[in-house]
Chains A and B, each alone.
Chain A
């Protein structure tokens, strides 16, 4: 059974940093691209970052230069280092498995999410 479990969320002050983790199990982690998707309370989904099987990262303009995605295949783990956090980054952050960025594939499995709150 595919499982994705996020951790590392919490309360952080504006300008601060936080590192999210996602522990994967039930599939060959190294064979899949992985993603972070966030959702502010009462709002829609927003794609935050992706990392390919070769470790190649992808970001939207809203987080580029502030967020860094990485993976550690030996530990079946995905990470998101978030710096220079803003109030607008407050959201539930989901880890999701992808079926191929080059193939424009979907996110077929999602974790339950971890809440990040940026506030003074």
Chain B
């Protein structure tokens, strides 16, 4: 089965840029989606099809995907961005999630 690998945690100071990676075999050939989940809340879609942003998601959130790594980039990080982030793809008609990355704003 297809495996997505994310770092368990990423820390960043306010105003700086956070980059969260999602590794997978030739993930660049797949469409990657990213979700933000705050404690006690349901996940929220923040990036879809590698780099598209749903309405209401700040432009500070962006995504890229190439080779074996997809990346979620959050610019000018704010305290409110502290959350768990998950990448997701489809593989052989099955949904696959990464293990999640906890973003801590210092």
Contacts and interface: CB of A to CB of B under 8 A. Distances in A.
B96 A47 contact: yes
Contacts of B45: 106-108
Report which residue of A44, A50, A108 has the largest number of chain B beta carbons within 10 angstroms of its beta carbon: A44
B96 A94 contact: no
A35 B45 CA distance: 14
A102 to B, nearest CB: 9
Interface residues of B, number: 26
Interface of A: 35, 37, 44-47, 50, 58, 60-61, 94, 99, 101, 104-108, 110-113
17 contacts: A35-B95, A44-B98, A44-B100, A45-B35, A45-B43, A45-B100, A47-B96, A99-B48, A101-B90, A101-B93, A104-B31, A106-B49, A106-B88, A107-B88, A110-B42, A110-B44, A111-B42
Interface of B: 1, 30-31, 33, 35, 37, 41-45, 48-49, 54, 86, 88-90, 93-100
